[in-house]
Every structure is written in C-alpha cells, then in structure tokens.
Amino acid sequence: MRAYLFGVWRTVAQRYGFVEWEAPTVEPTELYLKKSGGELPTQLFRFKDQGERDISLRPELTASLGRMVAACHLDYNKPLKWYEIGSCFRYEKPQKGRLREFVQFNADILGEGSEGADAELLALAIDCMRELGFTADDFVVRVSDREVWLRFAADHGIPEERTPDFLSVVDKYERDRPEVCSEKLAAFGLTREELVSFIQNPPAGISPRFDAVLADLQARGLADYVQLDLCVVRGLAYYTGLVFEIFDKAHSLRAVAGGGRYDRLVETLSDGSVKMAATGFAMGDAVIAHLIDSCPAARALRDAALQPNTCDVFLALAAPEMRPQMLRVATSLREAGLRVDLPLAPAKLAKQLRHAERLGATYAAVIGAEFPAVELKHLASRTSQQLQAGELAAALTRQS
C-alpha cells in the first residue's frame, strides 16, 4: 500500500518539476521547540543520546527543511521546488488516521512569495488526489488566509501578543461545544455569533491572495476543488499567509493534507540571517489510506496497482540435470532487465507451476531434457509455445 502511495506522490511531484531531498530522522530537540509552537513539543519522541544530547525523532519535515535551506540556499537557483517522502513520529494515542510512526509526503516551494507559488502548490496537492482516483465529489480543499484573521483581530482591538491565542480559538471553533467557544471568545470581547457570521459570510474581496490563487486555478481547470473557508487556521505557529487543508467531502475523517505559507520560518531558524518566502504542504499515509478504502474508484486503482506481479517469467525445471542450463538462462534474462524467478530446490514440475501462479508470474518457461528447446506457457490463458532458449529474452521483452 505504501509503495503505491509513494509511487503516486513521486510521479505527480516530478510532473510538477519538484526534486527529492532528504532529512535526517533524528534532530536536536531544540529545532522543534524553536519553531513549531502548538501541541507538537508535547508529542515528541524525545530522549538523550549516549553523549547526553537532547534529540528527537522528527515529528514532521518542515523544520529540517527550513534549517537545511537556511544553511545552503546559495547553492541553488530559486525558487526551490523540493519534495520528500519519509517517516515521522509523534507520541500520541494511536487512533483512526493517526499512528505513532507514519509517512509524510512533503512538498515545498521556497524563495518565491507570489501567489503563483501558492497556486502551483495547491495544484500539486489537487493533482495528487486526482492521480489517486478522487474527483471533486470526493474531496475539497478548504483554503483560508491568516492575514484575514490578523486584520480581523486588529479591527476588533485584540492586542498583538494575544493574537496567537485568538487564532487557536478559531482553530478549535468547529470542534468546541458552542458554550465553550463563546466563553473563550468573551475573553476577547467577541461573541460566537460575530465569529460565525464572519466565517459563513466573509465580505467579498476579504482575501485578495485567495482571489488571485482561485483565478490561477481556474485557468488550470482546477477551481472546482477549492473553496474559501476561514475556519481553517492550522495549529502550528509558523504559518503566515494562505493556509489550506484537504478534507473528504463528507468530512468524516481528519484532514488528508494540510499546509500553507510560512514566510518567516527560515528567518527564525537562521537567527535572522536568511529571509526566504516559503509555502508547503504535507500529506500523511494514514488518513488517505482510509479515504481510498471508502472510494470505489480510488480503491480500484490501488488494487490494480497492487496486483501481485513480481515476476515476468518463472523458470520451471522439468529435468533436474538441466539445472546449470536453467541458471544460465536466468542470468541472461535478468541481464535483459526481465524479472525472473526460479525453483531454489528440486520440486515436482506441477508444484513449481503452482508456485509460479501464486507469485503472479506472467509466464513459466519449462526447461527439460529437450533443452535448448523450451516450452513457454502463458499462465493466465494456459496457452503455450515452443521456442529456443536463445529466443526467450526477445520473446518476453516483446510481450511484457
């Protein structure tokens, strides 16, 4: 299953001109305390190594990316379009769509602050979903703009230092019971009704950035997948502008993916020495796996890709004394790039052919006393042809 997801992520990222990078699995804990905020620091797999250094298993990839880019950005042309697929770790109660070790696909564009970068990134996220077999009936990209909320907070007299707390009330607005939400908002001199009305009927043109991105996606034919939804704030402290989350249409699962602009993270991680605009998103393997299970078209694509077909041809041995000849044939077929399996120990021919079928081999080539004459069986159709061993590679390459 993961191999299938990895393949789709990699294929789509490459179509968008993204290149792969790699982060270390273990990082100094400080890296995460410095930047993330939110609940992340409490969820770290954190420990002291034998040299008494405070280290953590990476809970996400963006901090490593920011640090790496701050250190070596002069070596690359901007904008950077980078992706990574790797394991991340969070110490929390395992639950549906959340595991302690999970895999994330991260894609980021650094060194470009314009809405063109936001749109390119959203298009990539949408195309990952489309490539997995999902349509606009299955998922929606909810896009929001933190700038809108910063202006809202300023307009309502919320002091700057309390704005992060206000954002976290908005972040929890959908999940909190109304009376809890009301109570939290009262502390900011706001009523829940004001908030609801602002979210449900945002003034036209409230986010010029969103409007520009929507126009871009419209031109790409991808506008149907996105909607402005100010509910989305994203938990992490480092986001600065446009943020988004992908949800299943029924909203029955956690977010499938999430991300946004983080224009100040590289600066923070480099202690102010490197300023670089950035936007990125992450998609984990757990929620998307549930969503694939629940969508027939996506499930069919996945099942087709996961059909066991590990083998183009199985070399069956009908005459034990021909084992050296069989091994020589195996080498030459493998040198021709074919996927070849063979019996490792003597076994009856019928048993060998059964094993070949279970492996999902396309062909079995029966090597017997008549060698170099060989019988090539197409296992699914149960048809066969006679040919010479020397013709096998060409015949199989033509037919596979």
Of residues 154 and 306, the one with the C-beta less far from a copy of itself: 306
**Shortest gap between Cβ of 30 and a copy of itself (angstroms)?**
17
**Shortest gap between Cβ of 3 and a copy of itself (angstroms)?**
6
Amino acid, res. 301:
L
**Shortest gap between Cβ of 2 and a copy of itself (angstroms)?**
6
Of residues 178 and 320, the one with the C-beta less far from a copy of itself: 320
d(CA 178, CA 182): 6
Q: Judging by DSSP bridges, how do beta strands 373-378 and 383-388 pair with one another? A: antiparallel
Residues making contact with a copy of itself (CB under 8 A): 2-3, 14-20, 22, 24-26, 45, 47-50, 57, 77, 79, 81, 87, 89, 91, 100-101, 109, 112, 114, 116-117, 120, 123, 127, 215-216, 218-222, 308, 310-311, 323-325, 327-328, 330-331, 334, 337-345, 355, 358-359
Of residues 88 and 230, the one with the C-beta less far from a copy of itself: 88
**Shortest gap between Cβ of 234 and a copy of itself (angstroms)?**
22
Residue 318: count of CB within 10 angstroms of its CB: 17
**Shortest gap between Cβ of 32 and a copy of itself (angstroms)?**
15
Of residues 144 and 352, the one with the C-beta less far from a copy of itself: 352
**Shortest gap between Cβ of 161 and a copy of itself (angstroms)?**
31
Of residues 63 and 190, the one with the C-beta less far from a copy of itself: 63
Of residues 345 and 350, the one with the C-beta less far from a copy of itself: 345
